Structure 1
Amino acid sequence: MDIDAFVTAHRPVWDRLEHLVRHRRSLNGAEVDELVDLYQRTATHLSIVRSGSTDEMLVGRLSALVARARSAVTGAHTPAWRELVRFFAVSFPVVAYRARWWWLGTSAVFLAVTTAVAAWVAGDPQVQASIASPIEIARLVEHDFADYYSENPAASFAGRVWINNAWVAALTIASSVLLGLPIFYILWMNAANVGVTAGLMASRDKLDIFFGLITPHGLPELSAVLLAAGVGLRLGWTAIDPGPRRRAEALAEQGRAVMSVALGLVVVLLICGLIEAFVTPSGLPTWARIGVGVVAEIAFIWYVMVFGRRAAAAGDSGDLEQAPDAAPSAG
């Protein structure tokens, strides 16, 4: 196929469709009919280009145009609240569920590295001396670690924690564009920080305080960050092994699906921030504070497994655009 001639012949159709999509709120009846017709024709053009050309830039442009046109044609019939319900009942949990083995593997490696670092620090006084002086370590285990959770007003502390954790999760997912390689560094830094703190607390017989303060929010918080790492690594691997589909198609669908996790984790990490600000430093007994974290973790896992499995069984991929790249057609 002569791609240049094809583009020259059909560009006016694409430009007109883009104009109608951009002004869809002010279209009259005839223009709406034209929008539907041009959308179907452009979807057919996309199928032709995919089968007869390797021009990824053109495929990408037409894919985006078809997705926007489909939204303009069908989006007005779906109330916003239904889209919100569908997001939390289908899109977010199904992507997390489909990445469950990546999530589990990432969690296992993270736990192993953290435990190894903690044991190394706790058992070697020379390592402890290289990290901080005895006075500084004593101040950390006796005061600073616990004071961190209560030295600021709870509301502002919750907001700060939420923003920081959401940023870490977003950065982790965004790292997938580099085949997920930066994710290993991000995980190592987090594992090392937790391991060093745990090791220093253990060296002074303060592990009860460590787990009593970190477990309430730490369980769901770490699960959320490790989920972000798991889906990010899965997306990075898709670039290497896209399976039976073309690489661009697989990355487009998987990339949009991963955005579901990025958006969903904003809510999950907000809940973690509230627990860290209001439960962790509270006067509740240690068993009660830990119980809150365990319940939150179980609820999160249950939510992903039950809703995610159900959506996966129904064939849903979690694609925010309902996979418009997979099978565009004129009908």
Structure 2
Amino acid sequence: MQAIVAALGSAVLLLFVAGGASGLSLDYYDRTCPKLEHSVRWAVKKAMKNDNTVPAALLRMHFHDCFIRGCDGSVLLNSTAKNTAEKDGPPNISLHAFYVIDHAKEAVEAQCPGVVSCADILALAARDAVALSGGPYWDVPKGRKDGRISRAIDTRQLPAPTFNISQLQQSFSQRGLSMEDLVALSGGHTLGFAHCSSFQNRIHNFDAASDVDPSMYPPFAAQLRKACPAHNKAKGAGSTLDPTAAKFDNAYFKVLLRGKSVFTSDQALLTVPKAKALASKFAEDGEEFEKAFVKSMIKMSSLSGGQEIRLNCRVVR
């Protein structure tokens, strides 16, 4: 949906065409790896045919990568005998679809060996995941480098589903991201699924006065309690984050305003006027949400990090 990008105005994208302060550019691989984007899209599209959870997985993977030392592909690295990597940190245990990046990297290496970073491939895959799910398409600034450091302990820096608005704002502002970015990027929850453990705090023993978060629509809370009984240990149990979890749209904001959000961090958006106003705007106008989401994705995915081009996305070169 190129019109979405055009509607942003040319200022943001022109910065990257020229190289910009981030060192990224839209034409970074035009000469050295011209079929890069086709190869990545092919890998994402093929995976989606067999697993409709792939788009959410890739979008979340990219987000979790960028929030630790910038977008450097460190989330892709495997643990070793001497180091537990990010992907094995508690917030990332449920990440999956790493094979999609592996397949894309193999295809790219066959065409242009040693040229394209895993971090760039992940950024492109996240964009394709959104676009192939019915969301907007945008031109991704490229030129990221891969990092050498990946530590599970650093995943404590990731914003948690139990965060309140102050904690969310602090986490985002530390990375140069605004309230607008926070709300727009939260809309990425339109894709995906939440395991019971990530929202048990809202539906069981909420506080001394109530077993359930009173801000939650009662029939929805009852539905969640049925899916996730107290002390439930069943693998795979949980809830989608909006009713159209395989489609990128603005349904997340619509259900949020109706008291049907899943995470504490979702509900937190309604606790301050500015965030609530943005959520209301995005619920009413899907195109406004898409424009804001694209702008914020470009901003977030341009966080710097990395020093090398990995030949294998799972291993430091």
* TM-score tier after normalising by the smaller chain length: under 0.3
Q: Indicate the structure whose relative CO is greater, using CA pairs within 8 Å and at least 6 residues apart.
A: 1
Larger Rg: 1
- Using the size of structure 1 for normalisation, the TM-score is 0.25
